[in-house]
Structure 1
Amino acid sequence: MTETESTGPRHTGAQPGELGEDDVEVRLGANLTHLPIVRSIAANVAVRADFDLDAIADLRLAVDEACSTLITRAVAGSTMTCRFVIDDGELRFHGTVASAEQEAPSTASFGWKVLTTLADTANTWLDSEGRDGADGPHGQVHVELTKRKPTLT
């Protein structure tokens, strides 16, 4: 069953700026050409966490969709931050990017439906308390998802 939310932040793992021992965080230019890098990192983290091949494939696609969502809302020249946290049989992804958008990404879009089909939980929100840039005020768009290890029955 997939849980979708768009009400606000759900804190995962260490506090912002802090990384747990097994956490992975990467910062890249918010550019679609970087999607293969993030997909590869997602797959490698999931392999390390002993996910099965189907779950790894789902996670790669879900992270791709999450990052695509962020990149299309990013302020030109901004940085996308992606964090992967392994905890209690699940892998959590949290991505964020500076954006001039006034609303969180739509949870009614086809892309969001794909993301929520592939992930166990998904959440998006807009943190409007950002910094001012040359082209206006910037907030932060967040996308967070969780993929759990399949249970053997």
Structure 2
Amino acid sequence: MAQARVAPQGVTFRAANAEDVDAIVDIFGRSRAVAMPFLPKLHTAEEDRGFIAGVISEARVTLVSLDKPIGFMAETEGWIDHLYLHPDFRGRGIGEALVRQAMARQGRLQLWCFAENYPARRFYERLSFAIERQTSGDNEEGLPDILYVWQREPA
């Protein structure tokens, strides 16, 4: 496995709560627009807000801040459901720190990644996630995606 990057000094991680919905919706929208411009716009801002509120109530959501919220990861048993960083803070080890926290908590993780999201694919593969299967687009967006899996090696 490649050497771990260290998140910048001053970055904090905490559990997200209902008061964080607007900040997370902002990160979600900005990140998707920059990192995945190929995605169709399917929902209104209010629908995104309701979606994120539901994610916070149903998943373990870690909010990342550096003076202000800059990213989040939603995790359920065996899954990374969402990982988004504000575009200005990508490539600094923050996403890796989030994923490694999930790896420390769980022995196996799965996640879906759009096939066209090459930077994310490289990121997950660098962290030892392997392709389990691919689809031709049986998701809401109708776009090909990849199921990645990571399994902790036995001690």
- Normalising by structure 1, we get a TM-score of 0.31
If each structure's strand is expressed as a fraction of its own residues, which one has the higher value? Answer: 1
Greater share of helix residues, 1 or 2?
2
Q: Could you say which structure has the greater relative contact order, defined with CA pairs below 8 angstroms and 6 or more residues apart?
A: 1
* TM-score normalised by L of structure 2: 0.30
